Chains A and B, each alone.
Chain A
Amino acid sequence: DAMVIQNPRYQVTQFGKPVTLSCSQTLNHNVMYWYQQKSSQAPKLLFHYYDKDFNNEADTPDNFQSRRPNTSFCFLDIRSPGLGDAAMYLCATSRDTTGPISTETQYFGPGTRLLVL
């Protein structure tokens, strides 16, 4: 089945130690998103790729970076994780239909829960 896969499901890192979360998709969607979701809060968009074009949200800290080497894969790099970065990180994809029609629905992966010690 076509899907969005996130690895690992749980990630433990140390304060200040770089960590990379990965996302892959078999949907062949052209847009990929990374969200941060803290406990009992709404998902907060960090950035997204529209094809190869990277779009950073204005309030996303510089500590968060992303890479999309090809259509199927997208990575979230946290350069120096702090205690406040402990959260669920959600990857999502969508297929943009261009023109006046807005983004289609988003398909989410199961998330990676990050713990910072």
Chain B
Amino acid sequence: SQQGEEDPQALSIQEGENATMNCSYKTSINNLQWYRQNSGRGLVHLILIRSNEREKHSGRLRVTLDTSKKSSSLLITASRAADTASYFCATSNSGYSTLTFGKGTMLLVSP
């Protein structure tokens, strides 16, 4: 079964607003990663948070991880039209492991 489930499935906001996407997963993880995918393109890694971390920042991105609730959130602050894309969370189990991707959130940022 799918490991990660994003919420919401789609999000439409205005430039300058903040966008929050959530991800839930089912089993224990070693780390959780967020990727962005522009339409018809490959995925680009955004940020990785390990299971012993609770919050991480990278530029306008803020990721939180709550292992007790098996959930993560991605916050994009001061959004831009160029942030329009699909965002996927992906989880990795302990040790060497492949990634399992969630279904993604489609973000539309209007000028």
Contacts and interface: CB of A to CB of B under 8 A. Distances in A.
Contacts of B35: 108
Interface residues of B, number: 28
Interface string B80-111: 00000000100011111111111110100000
Contacts of A45: 98-100
Interface residues of A, number: 28
Given A33-B98, A42-B104, A45-B98, A102 B43 contact: no
Given A43-B88, A103-B96, A108 B103 contact: no
B2 interface: yes
B57 interface: no
A102 B93 CA distance: 8
Contacts, number: 63
A42 B45 contact: no
Nearest to A6: B42
A103 B42 contact: no
A7 B96 CA distance: 28
A110 B103 contact: no
A108 B42 contact: yes
Contacts of B43: 43, 90, 92, 106, 108
Contacts of B30: 102
Nearest to A50: B96
Nearest to B101: A42
B44 A102 contact: no
Given A42-B2, A43-B43, A90-B43, A106 B99 contact: yes
Interface of A: 4, 6, 33, 40-45, 48, 50, 55, 88, 90, 92, 96, 98, 100, 102-103, 105-111, 113
18 contacts: A33-B98, A42-B88, A42-B101, A43-B43, A43-B101, A44-B101, A50-B96, A55-B98, A88-B40, A92-B42, A100-B95, A102-B97, A103-B97, A103-B99, A105-B45, A106-B99, A108-B35, A110-B42
